[in-house]
Amino acid sequence: MIPELGHFALILALLVAAVQGVLPLVGAQRNSGAWMALARPAARTQFTMIVVAFACLTYAFVNDDFSVKYVFEHSNSQLPLVYRFAAVWGGHEGSLLLWMLMLSGWTFAVSLLSRTLPLAMVARVIAVLGLVSCGFLLFILLTSDPFERLLPVPADGADLNPLLQDPGLVIHPPMLYMGYVGFSVAFAFAIAALIAGQLDAAWARWSRPWTTAAWIFLTLGIALGSGWAYYTLGWGGWWFWDPVENASFMPWLVGTALIHSLAVTEKRGAFKNWTVLLAIGAFSLSLLGTFLVRSGVLTSVHAFATDPRRGIFVLVFLTLVIGSSLTLFAWRAPKVGLGGKFGLLSRETLLLTNNVLLLVAAASVLLGTLYPLLLDALGLAKLSVGPPYFQTVFVPLMAPLLFLIGLGPSSRWKQSEPAEMFKRVRFAIPFALIGGIVLPFAFGNWTPLIGLGLLLAVWIAAATALDIRRRFAAGGNIPRAFWGMHLAHIGIAVFVVGVTLVKGYETEKDVRMEPGDTVTAGSYSLRFLGVKPVPGPNYRSDMADIELSQDGRVLRVLNPEKRVFLSQEMPMTIAAIDAGPFRDIYVALGEPLAGGTTGAWSVRVHYKPFVDWIWGGCLLMALGGLLAASDRRYRVHAQVTAAGTEGVRA
C-alpha cells in the first residue's frame, strides 16, 4: 500500500510539474499576473509530492519490504538501519529519486527566497525548473520506477553493495547531487533572462548566490567522494580519473568559471553572452554526467546495471534541454550589448584568462572521458584513457591558473598599470622562490614538479596575505565576499600543497608480516601483533592489531580489516588510518600467506605526508564560498528592494 502511495505521489508530482512548467511561462509572455502567480504554489506542491514519494521508499527500506523490487535488490534484513537509509540512493532508481528530491528542493528554495525578484522573472525561473522536473519525472515513471513490485515476494534481499556500506556514502551522493542539481537554478536564471531579453547586472546579481551555493555543495560532494575512495577502496589513492568522477569534476570546473564570470557581469556588465553560455554549460555537463553514468555507454568502476531504454530516454531529454537552450542562445545572443570596455591588462582580462583555462581543462576532461566512446563510434578502436593523459594535460593548464590566482586580486577593473601591479605583489616573489627552491629540501629531495607545486602554493598564500594587508590599510568595512574569495583561494593553495607533497614524498611498502614483525614508515614503526576474527552485523571480519610507535613510544593500535559480506560473499578491505595534520599512516590488510597456518599476512603500509590537506583545502574552498554567498550586499539589496515595493504598494 505504502509503495503504491509513493508511486501515486510521483504521478501527481508529474502533473503539477507540467502545470508549473507551462502556465507561468505563458503567463509571463502574456503578462498575466494570475498565471504567473501559479509558479510558487506549484513549486511547493511538487516538492511536497516528491518528499512523500521519497518517504514512502525510505519506509519500504526501513521495514524490509522485499516485495518492492528495488528494495529487494539493494537491501537485506541484516543491513544496519543507517545503511537502509543510505540504500535508498544505493541504486539507479533511488539515485534518480534523490535527484528529483534535490531539484524540487532547490525550486522550493527559489519559491521562498525570491520575494524581491520581479514576478515575471520568478515565474520564468520556476517554469524552466518545472520543465526540467517533467523530464526527470517522466524518466523515473517510464523507465526507472523505484516502486515496482516483485512477485512472489523473496524471503530476503540481495543486499546493498558492500562498497557502499560506509558512513561516507550516507552523505556523499546527497552532497554531490545538491551541487549537480543546484546548477539547474543558475541555468533557469540564464534561460529566463534569455527569454525576457534582459541580460543585465541585476540578473547576474540574482544568479550569484545560487551558483555559489550549488558550487559549495559540489565541492564538498567531490571531496567526500574522494575521501571515501581513499579509505574504502584500500588502494591509498584519492582520485582515479574514473568516468564517474570526471562527470562530477567537469561541472565543477565550468561552475568555477561561471562564478568568476558572473562577477564580471555583475560589476562591469561585460561577458554577458559568455556568462549565459557558461550557465547553460555547467548544467548541461551535469545532465551529460547523468547520461554517462546512467546509460552505460562508458565502462566504469561505478557501473550500474543498464537498460537500453534509459540511455535513449536520457539522450533525447539531453538533446531537448540543451539543444533548445543553445538555440535560444543563438537567437537572443546577437542582440545583447557588449558591456563595459576594458584594457589589455585589467581584472576583466585576467578573469577571462581564468575562464578560458578552466574551460579548456573541462574540455580536456570531457575529451579524455569520451575519447574511447568517440573512437568506438567511428569504428576505429576500443581503448581506455588513463591517468597519464589527464596528468599530462592538467599540470600545464593548472600552473598558469594558479599563478593568476595570486595576480587577480591585485589587478584593477578596466585598466591596470603593470608597474602598480608589480608593486603590489613584489613581496610575494621572494617567498614563492623560497617555497619553490628551498622548501622541498626540508621535506627531502627537490624535483621540478614538487618545486613548481610549492612555489605556486606559497605564491598564492603570500599574494593573498599582501592583498588582505592592503585592504586593512585602506580601512572601512571589509565585506564578507572579500574574505570568501581569499579563503577559497587559500583553500586552493592548501590543496596544492597536499597534492604536491603526497605525490612527491609518499612511500608504500608491501610486506609479509608474522606476529611480532616490525616495519617502518617515515619515522614511525609498526609492529604486527596478529589477526583475529571479529563478527560484524552482516559480515565476518579478520581484524589485525598493529601497534604504531615513534621513538619507542607506543602511540596507538591500528585495526585494518578484511571483511567478507555474508549475503554476497564479497571481500572488502577496510584500511586503518592514523590521520594527522602533517601525515597519514595508512595500513591495509592483504591476504593470509602460506594458507594462514603461520599467522603471516601480507600488509601494505603507506606513509602519506600532508594528504589531509587535499580535503582540508576543499573544505576551505567551500567555506570561502559560504562567506561569499552570504555577503551582506545580497541581503541588503534584498531589503532595499523589498522596502521599495512595499512603498509602492502603500
Partner 1 sequence: MRFLIPLGLFLLLVGFLAAGLKLDPREVPSPLIGKPAPGFALPQLGAPSARFSPVDMKGKVWMLNVWASWCVSCREEHPLLVEFSRNATTPIYGLDYKDQPADAERWLKQFGNPYALSVADADGRVGIDYGVYGVPETYIIDKQGVIRYKQIGPVTPEVLSNKIQPLLAELNK
Instruction: Give CA–CA dist 357/360, Å, rounded.
Output: 5
Q: Which listed residue (295, 410, 541, 567) binds partner 1 by CB under 8 A?
A: 295
Helix%, strand%, coil% for the chain, nearest 5: 65, 10, 20
**Quick one: which of 34, 381, 648, 650 contacts partner 1 (CB under 8 A)?**
381
Q: Which residue has the cell 521519497?
A: 54
Minimum CB–partner distance for residue 609 and partner 1 (Å): 21
> What is the dihedral sign for C-alpha 297, 299, 301, 306?
positive
Q: Closest by alpha carbon to 141, among 42, 46, 53, 51?
A: 53
Give the C-alpha separation, 387 to 503, whole Å: 13
Q: How far apart are CB 280 and partner 1 at their closest, in Å?
A: 8
**Beta carbon of residue 492, minimum distance to partner 1 (angstroms, whole number):** 27
Kindly list the distances between the CA atom of residue 362 and the CA atoms of 67, 82, 121, 296, 408, in Å, as whole numbers in the listed order: 43, 36, 30, 21, 21
Q: Which of 33, 323, 400, 430 binds partner 1 (CB under 8 A)?
A: 323
Instruction: Please identify, among the stretches 10-18, 146-154, 375-383, 606-614, the one whose residues bind partner 1 according to the rule CB under 8 A.
Output: 375-383
Is 74 near partner 1 (CB under 8 A)?
no
| Nearest-approach distance from CB 374 to partner 1, in angstroms | 5
Residues 95-154, interacting with partner 1 (CB under 8 A): none
CA-CA distance, 59 to 137, in Å (whole number)? 20
With contacts defined by CB under 8 A, name the span among 130-138, 316-324, 394-402, 622-630 that binds partner 1. 316-324
CB 343 within 8 A of CB 273: no
Query: What binding mask, one character per residue, do residues 559-588 give for partner 1 by CB under 8 A, x or -?
Result: ----------xxx-----------------
From 113, 374, 554, 643, residue interacting with partner 1 (rule: CB under 8 A)? 374
Dump the DSSP string for 235-268.
Answer: S--S----HHHHHHHHHHHHHHHHHHHHHHHHHH
171 binds partner 1 (CB under 8 A): no
HEC string of 485-549 equals HHHHHHHHHHHHHHHHHHHHHCEEEEEEECCCCEEEECCEEEEEEEEEEEECCCEEEEEEEEEEE
The yes or no reply on residue 602 touching partner 1 (CB under 8 A) is: yes
Judged by CB under 8 A, the chain residues 494 through 523 that form the site for partner 1 are: 510, 512
How many positions of this chain bind partner 1 (CB under 8 A)?
48
Q: Does 287 bind partner 1 (CB under 8 A)?
A: no
The residue (of 506 and 631) whose beta carbon lies closer to partner 1 is 506
We find the least distance from the C-beta atom of residue 599 to partner 1, in angstroms, to be 17
The answer to whether 170 and 82 have CB atoms below 8 angstroms apart is: yes
Candidate residues 301, 338, 437, 579; the one interacting with partner 1 per rule CB under 8 A: 301
| Least distance CB 381 / partner 1 (angstroms) | 7
Q: Establish if 239 lies at the interface with partner 1 (CB under 8 A).
A: no
- Going from the C-alpha of 335 to that of each of 198, 234, 338, 452, the distances in angstroms are 10, 55, 9, 45
Rounded CA separation 310/304 (Å) = 12
Q: How far apart are CA 216 and CA 206, in angstroms?
A: 17
Amino acid, res. 151: L
Q: What would the grid cell of residue 239 be? A: 582520485
Cα separation, 331 vs 194, whole angstroms: 9
Q: Does 318 bind partner 1 (CB under 8 A)?
A: yes
> Is residue 330 within the footprint of partner 1 (CB under 8 A)?
yes
Between 329 and 413, name the residue whose CB sits nearer to partner 1.
Answer: 329
Grid coordinates 608491501 are at which residue? Answer: 510
**Cell numbers that stand for 66 in this block:** 522485499
Helix (H) or strand (E) holding 419: helix 418-425
Q: Which stretch binds partner 1 (CB under 8 A): 125-133, 224-232, 306-314, 471-479?
A: 306-314
Of 254, 298, 407, 496, the one binding partner 1 by CB under 8 A: 298
Q: Determine, following the binding rule CB under 8 A, whether residue 158 of this chain makes contact with partner 1.
A: no
Smallest gap from residue 510 Cβ to partner 1 (A): 5
Nearer to partner 1, 33 or 197 (CB): 197
406/415 Cα distance (integer angstroms): 18
Distance in Å, CB of 600 to partner 1, minimum: 12
Q: Which is nearer to partner 1, 370 or 546 (CB)?
A: 370
Q: Which of 377, 438, 534, 554 binds partner 1 (CB under 8 A)?
A: 377
Q: Is 383 in the site for partner 1 (CB under 8 A)?
A: yes
Residue 604 touching partner 1 (CB under 8 A): yes
* Nearest-angstrom CA–CA distance, 493 and 441: 19
Q: Which is nearer to partner 1, 299 or 639 (CB)?
A: 299
In this chain, which of 33, 197, 337, 386 binds partner 1, going by CB under 8 A? 386
Q: Which residues bind partner 1 (CB under 8 A)?
A: 235, 240, 242, 273, 277, 280, 284, 291, 295-299, 301, 308, 311-312, 315, 318-319, 322-323, 326-327, 329-330, 333-334, 370, 372-374, 376-377, 381-384, 386, 510, 512, 569-571, 590-591, 602, 604
